[in-house]
Every structure is written in C-alpha cells, then in structure tokens.
Amino acid sequence: MHSFDHRYPDPTVPALLLSAGSEVVSVSLAEELAACGVPFALISFGQNSVLAGVPELVAYERVEWPASSQSALAAILRFASPLAERAGSALPVFATDDATLRLLLEHRSVVEHVLRIPRATALRSGGLDKAEFFDFLRANGLADLCPRSVTIRHPRELREAFDELGTDVVIKPTLKPFRAQLALDTSGRKLLAASAYASPAELSAALTANWSFSDAWLVQERLQTPPEGEAVAWVARSKHGQIRQISAVERWKHPRVGGTGCWLETRVDPEIDLAGRRLAEALGLEGLAEFPFLKDSSGAWRVLECNPRAWLQVALARIAGRPLAAFTWATLCDREANGNGFSQPPVQRTWISAELLLLAAASGNYGSRSSSFGTALGLLKRADYTAMHSSPWGFVQRAWVRRVGGKLVRRTVGQ
C-alpha cells in the first residue's frame, strides 16, 4: 500500500474553493486539502453545498448565479478579502469550472492581491482560449502535439475550413462563455461533431444556432480514440519549475464524443508524461492543469486543450500517490513542496462516477447494454474510488444521494 506524507507545517493560509455545477471536484479537493491539514473556504454558486459542516471549512457562502460577471467578481472579492487580510497573504484559489476560472483570469489584475490563480503564464487567457493555445504551441516548437485545426470568426467561414480539413471535423468554442454549464446539444456534448449530423449543411446550421456561445470557434480534424480510451496528463508546476505529474486513461466517457470521463485508470505512459512536461514548461504553467490527448489518423498523439484548473477526476491522482492539488496549494503559497507525496512511483488506481457510468452503460455506446451494465456493476464493486460515494464524510455522501435522488424524482414526475 502506497502512502504519502500528507501534512504541511503550519498551514495558516486557507485555500479558496469556487464551486459551480456538480460538486464532485469541490469535494475531492476538500478531501485532499483536509488530509494535508490545510483549511479551506468555499463559495457555492447556485445551490447549498454538501460540504457545509466539514470541520476544515473556515468560511462558507452560497451565492446565487449573478446576472453579470462583474457582480460575480464583486461577490468573490467581498468574501475573500477579509480571509486574505487575516492570513496575511493572497489565497490559493481552486476554480472548479471554466466559467469561474475565466472570470478570475480575465480580471486577474483586480484580484491578484487577494487570490493566487493557477494559470499558463505565457498565455493572455491563462490557457482557456483554444485558438490562442494552439497558435502559441505552433509558434514555440510544439506543433508536433497539435491537431490540424482552423479558427473561424463567422459561420460562413466554415466552408473554407471544410476545404482545408475536409468535412469529418469537430467544432468547439474557442472560449467558453460565463455560465455554469455548456451543452451544445441535447446529449450534453460540449462540441459539435460532424458525425452526429446527416450532412455538412446540417452541421453548419447547428453551428449558426449555437454561435452566440463564443466569439470564435475552433474547427478541428476528428481525432481517434484508442481502444483503451482517451489519454490525459495531469501536471502541477511551481513558478520555480518543479513539476509533479501523473498520466491516466479515460476508459469510458458520457457522452462518448465530447462528454465527461466516468471511468478512469492511472497508467504509466512515458510519451504522455513527456508531452505533459513539454506543455507545462513551454506555457509557464503555475499551478495545475489537465492536458487530454487523442490520436490522429497516423497514430500520433495530439493534445486537445489546456484546462488550468482542478478536473473532475482529481481524486484519482491523490489515491495513486500524486496529491497534485496539495502540491499546488503549497507552491502557490511559496512553500517547500519537495517530498510531499511523491517519493513513491504512482500506483494503479481506478476512479468512477457511478451515475455517469450507468448512463454510459445505458447508452449502448460501449457494446450491448447487458454487457455494459455487467461491466459497470463490476466496477461499482471494485473501483478504488467512486466520486462522492467514497467520501470520508458520511453526511456528504448522504446529501449527495438525496440530491441525485431528488433530481431523478423531478425528472420522472416531469415526464
């Protein structure tokens, strides 16, 4: 059994968690910080948090989703400023969705005296803008990691993108809007895939209908998912260049194209590890980021995006002996992070989201439904970590079950 030294000396500077949408990420972060003896504060947007009552929670506020980004920013500063003043230091902040992260990055000059934000320092957007991300990689010696893509700034430019890339493409917002969730069709996809439409004309119509989500869109060659699943590199880097990382594979996603990983396993992959380090160093990463990869038609790995924030499956890194969130907290506090949790090689671990896993099995995208449900039920029994249900706090588990059950009842009654 692998363990790690998970106590930091005198952690007087709390972390700030910004929770929006599902609380899976927030709970995983809270578990890791608590295990390290790090107190945390929490702003929950739109709903009461299941974390209310956790002993390490030093301050908590529920905020309704504001009508504007400016009002959301004001709410964050109003909450965080007294905590930073009391700590005598800006607080490391963990945004758990792209909306709040974009808010912080766009107003970094306003909040940097209060909050320390994980980001790609070489990029104006901090890493969220896909067009800027790929343009930077191509200009700085990392074109070998980039898929073929074209940025368009009006729907009529899609035809030119087809001429260059062909019609077997996916289309994504270059920068997601300020909102809690983004789904571009009824299946929950966060992209438009040509394979889901009968013709290029229908895909073009779908893009036009969704155009207001983003000022520009990235049209990208459709990449291939290997049989074992999408690869991912999770990397944390200090401003002094220390790097800690782990790689994993997304065995199942829901939806399968453009969806969310619901079954992940750690995997030692030197090629993905190297790509993750190259990206982190070139981008001047400070804090943590996720880099997902698929393969092109030649079999080469291509990076999909940079997510400079905690990801849904962040607990997998911790249970595999790589507490990247704790490392990020320490480095953003300018603390010595050597040796904390990284003296042993990573171990093989499995992470699942039970609810998404069952939806993926029911979709029929992973073979027959009977076979898929058999696989899912087996995973429910043997997975090393099940999101929310593996929480050490029983009241968090119970609150989550009530929330999910309530949603299911409301959906059933609504039908």
Assess contact for 259 and 240: CB atoms under 8 A.
no
Three-state SS at 274: helix
Assess contact for 385 and 350: CB atoms under 8 A.
yes
Three-state SS at 77: helix
Per-residue pLDDT at 415: 53
pLDDT tens digits in sequence order for the chain, 415 residues long: 334 455 665 678 999 999 987 899 999 999 999 998 899 999 999 889 999 989 999 999 999 876 677 888 999 999 999 999 999 999 999 999 888 899 999 999 999 999 999 999 999 999 999 999 999 999 999 999 999 999 999 999 999 999 999 999 999 999 877 664 556 665 667 889 999 899 999 999 999 999 988 899 999 999 999 999 999 999 999 999 999 999 999 999 998 877 899 999 999 999 999 999 999 999 999 999 999 999 999 999 999 999 999 999 999 999 999 999 999 999 999 886 555 556 677 889 999 999 999 999 999 999 999 999 999 999 999 999 999 999 999 999 999 999 988 877 666 665 5
The alpha-carbon radius of gyration of the chain (Å, integer) is: 21
DSSP-derived secondary structure for 284-349: TEEEEEEEEEEE-TTS-EEE---B-S--TTHHHHHHTT--HHHHHHHHHTT---TTSS-SS-----
pTM of the model: 0.92
Could you tell me the two tokens for 44? 């929950």
Per-residue pLDDT at 70: 84
181-184, long-range: CB within 8 Å, 24+ apart, which pairs?
Answer: 181/21, 182/98, 182/213, 184/210, 184/213, 184/258
Assess contact for 326 and 316: CB atoms under 8 A.
no
Separation of alpha carbons 342 and 323, rounded Å: 8
Assess contact for 16 and 83: CB atoms under 8 A.
yes
